[in-house]
Amino acid sequence: MDLIFLFVRALFLTVVFECIILSLLVRRSFLKICAIVFLLNLLTNPVLNYLHLIHDVPVFILEFVVVFIELFPLKAGLNLSWKDAFLFSILINAGSYSAGYFIMAFLYFP
C-alpha cells in the first residue's frame, strides 16, 4: 500500500479522534479546537509515523516527545493552565493512539 496514503489516513483519524476528545475536555469553539488540533498534527503526525515506520523508533518515545511539543500550542491557543495543557495533551495522544491501534488491528489483522 502506498506510504503517503497510510500517512494521510493516520493523520485524518488522529485529527478526528483528538478533536472529539479535546472538545469533551475543553469548553471552546469546536472549530477552534479542530483548527489547533489539525495544525499540531499536520506537523507532528507525519514525522512520528515516518520515524516509527522507516527508522523503527519506539512509539512510546515518539509519543512522549509529541506530548511536550503539543503542550505549548495547546496552552497558548486554548488559554489553558500548564497542568491542564499537559494533562489534555497526554489524554488526546493516548486516546488517538489507542483508537488507531485498535482500528489498525481490526483492519489489517482480522
In percent, the amount of the chain with pLDDT more than 70 equals: 97
Task: Report the length, in residues, of the chain.
Answer: 110
Give the pLDDT confidence of 26-65 residue by residue, as tens digits.
999 999 999 999 999 999 999 998 898 888 889 999 999 9
Phi, psi of 10 (to 5 degrees): -65, -40
Domain edges within the chain: 3-99
Q: Which of 89, 99, 96, 100 is nearest to 25 (CA)?
A: 89
Q: What angle do CA 102, 47, 69 make, to 5 degrees?
A: 90
Q: Tell me: pLDDT of 83 over 80.
A: yes
Summary mean pLDDT of the chain: 92
Q: Residue 106's pLDDT is what?
A: 82
Give the pLDDT confidence of 8-18 residue by residue, as tens digits.
988 999 999 99
